[in-house]
Structure 1
């Protein structure tokens, strides 16, 4: 959908150093070594989730000793906090990079793509997706404001921008309340996406239970939405 995404991690490192989550030793590392550690954290957190991060596996991925990691992060809690914030910032920047592309296609085409891209992201970052889902649905106060809200806010803004573009293009009625409708669509698309991502929600949502094709779900969603907000064609 977009060019290869490059994560701008340097401002994050400076900020997290001020918070005491990473040491000056890490900031002063050779850029290649620093990037190797960051990539190892992102990859391991993406597979296991930040809460189950294995320090030995991070060290192995990065090609450094476990002792070196403790010089960079002081302790496991520090590495966990750094990993949580790093993966959250990474995800926010990734979704921000998608935003310009979300207004370039008709709303009825981009909404299914918007949901399916979220599902693809969850497969690529399965550990973090599980972690994010637990934080969102279990309401852990440690992660509600620092993890769930920043990512959800970007997603909601994307939906509102898609609606605004559709209004500008004359597809959606000019009298709709973009913010209110955007929040509703944000909630509906989350429910559908999460219903397809998390098996434990299948008994509740029953979206594709009994062999219901996901394509029929998307078609029905677009039909429902567009008939509610689309501009009526003049006869």
Structure 2
């Protein structure tokens, strides 16, 4: 038992350290790299507004548009790495924000249904649940071959339950994890176990995949 607790403590420490680094990188992308690119964009727009040759003007405009597109991509990446709403507003608003980003990126529609009254969750547990949901949705985009996903949040008195159903092509969980050790399924389950919760994954070929997440409150 002591060995198991020690292993869980080490895993928890590693995950926490990773999340802190991810948060730092997301902040640097948004406030560092993003702001620098915005300054370059402003300079290019100023040059474009001046009286320069048409060919040069077109070149500067094209460069400004490329910089603007890059700024948008960096902002999206920063939000995906660590959504600011997760810290300021909580799990559910962060999920809603990520769902919009997810749909615009992959074209997969997500039907989000919420039952019960949202309750307070520690930042650590909020991040864990968010990451598990994020990993589930990433796997759906990569492998499920579906255009619709159903996510249900059930806020109970002492537990949060979340179900994610993709209605896609499905797979054999045991065989898939064996052939794809980096698929993230085991990591999803381990993350939830560290919170005292669970992540149960079930799937049938041709019928889709269902993920059930539970977190004690």
Please give the range of the TM-score, normalised by the shorter of the 2 chains.
0.3 to 0.5
- Higher RCO (CA-CA < 8 Å; seq separation 6+): 1
User: TM-score, structure 2 length as denominator?
Assistant: 0.35
More strand by share: 2
More helix by share: 1
